Every structure is written in C-alpha cells, then in structure tokens.
Amino acid sequence: MARRSIEDTSIVMVGAGNLATNLAKALYRKGFRIVQVYSRTRESAQGLAQVVEAEYTTDLTELVKDAKLYIVSLKDAVLVQLLPDIVAGKEKALWVHTAGSIPMSIWEGHVERYGVFYPMQTFSKQREVNFSHIPIFVEGSSAENTQFLKEVAAALSVKVFEASSEQRKSLHLSAIFACNFTNHMYALADKLLKKYDLPFDVMLPLIDETARKVHELEPKAAQTGPAIRFDENVINGHLQMLADEPRVQELYRLISESIHQSSKE
C-alpha cells in the first residue's frame, strides 16, 4: 500500500492567537490541510481561516470530529479550564498543545493519544516568521505519536528535538529571559529615547550586534558597559537621570548589580 505523505494530515487549530496564526500559516504553506480554525472571537477565527483556506467556528461544540491532529494553542489557564469541552467526542484523535510551560500530562485521562508541539520562537500576528530554523520540541504519549509529531515538525524545520515536559519547562523559562525580557529592555530604551526626542532606529545597529555577538562569544564574555566594573560615577549618573521613574531606576540598579556579581563568578 502506498504510504500517504505526512502533509495529508488533516489538522484542526484550536486557537488563533500569535503562535497558532504563525504555526497554521507555516503548516498551510507546506501543504498540510487545515480543515478548521476555532477562536473565541469571530474576527480571529475567520481571519486565520481565510488565510489557510479552512472553515472556522467560535463554538467548541462545533469542532469537526474526524481530523487526524488537533493543535490546541490557547492561553494556559483557558486550556486547563476548557479541556474537557474541547476534546469531547474526539477522544480517538491525536491531541497536542503548544505551550512551553504546560506538562504533557495535562491530557491524561481525557484522550488516548496526545503530545506537545512546542516551536520555541516569539510570534506576533503582524509578522510572519520563517519556520525553517526554529527549534521545535516534541513529546508524545507513545513512540508512535512522538515519531508522527517529529515528522510533522520536520516538514517545517530542520531543528526538531524530543524534549520531556521538564526540559521544555526549563527551555521556556530560559526563553523568557532571552526573548521576553530582552524585548522589554528594548522597550525601556525606546521609552527613554522618546522622552529625549531621539529616534529608536538609532539603536538598531547596537541591538543587532548584541545579538550577533553571542553567536561567537558566550554571553558572559560578550558583556560590556559600566556595570561589569561597577563604575559608580556612571551608574550613579544614570540612576539620577531615572529619578522620575522609580521602577525603571530599581531595574537599572538590580540588573547592574547582577551583571557585576556575574562577572565575579
């Protein structure tokens, strides 16, 4: 019997947020069949469904029953709360969630075949990302399910890994620092520049080089600036400049101390 290709997999996307949108588009562009998109809001459901040529619904009881793979990408708390409603009547399908922070065991007792499909990247609806080098971490409730998820992932990216729930939790925590907190540092710089009527664009070569540098040097070796040597003249000058923003001032002080401590370790 001829083996069907992995792209014949019919997929339902439960959720149409930043990650779901980018993942669904990437799967669609690789030839996977997205049959339905669910979102709580019609705008999100319909918006994504149109792009990936799928049906859409805003009603969980209307989820199609015969898809092969259900990808659930909802806020963590919502997933936990709605899980029984989501899977009802479709307990034989393969179910995955996409959250770094949620263990695979959340599916236990609800469905028979399940797993996790975690693409570690920062996704925004406004920007379509290229999946080809995004690390995708998969975990399955059986060797067969794991293998299947690895094949789906391999259709999108050259970087596919198996990771346990424990490892994924660690990756997710690290990613918060490397991405979310990093972006907030950009945001704080942006806010300061706006205050001084200077354009954020001027920071881009510095931001790019800071990122490029850690491809070659360990972050600790790449560290520069007044905090390493705890140059009190410069640091105190900056703390004064931040006097009208106590929260940002406190962050400046703590991060500088942390850099200085790290340099001595």
- 17 neighbors 73 (Cβ within 8 angstroms): yes
Give the nearer residue to its own copies in terms of CB position, either 65 or 195. 195
Task: Give CA–CA dist 118/114, Å, rounded.
Answer: 13
- Residues of span 224-263 touching its own copies by CB under 8 A: 224-227, 229, 231, 233-234, 237-238, 241-242, 247-248, 250-252, 254-255, 257-259, 261-262
Residue of 101, 99, 118 whose CA lies nearest to 160: 118
Task: Give CA–CA dist 155/168, Å, rounded.
Answer: 21
Binding string, residues 166-205; x marks residues near its own copies by CB under 8 A: -x-xxx-xxxxxxxxxxxxxxxxxxxxx-xx-x-x-xxxx
Q: Does 33 bind its own copies (CB under 8 A)?
A: no
Residue of 157, 172, 156 whose CA lies nearest to 122: 172
Tokens of 248: 């940002």
Q: Does 136 bind its own copies (CB under 8 A)?
A: no
185-219 in b/e form (b: 16+ CB < 10 A) is eeebeeeeeeeeeeeeeeeeeeeeeeeeeeeeeee
Binding string, residues 52-91; x marks residues near its own copies by CB under 8 A: -----------------------xxx--------------
Give the nearer residue to its own copies in terms of CB position, either 31 or 237. 237
Q: Does 158 bind its own copies (CB under 8 A)?
A: no
Count of residues interacting with its own copies (CB under 8 A): 92
| Residue span binding its own copies (CB under 8 A) among the ranges 5-13, 41-49, 142-150, 207-215 | 207-215
Tokens of 252: 């400046």
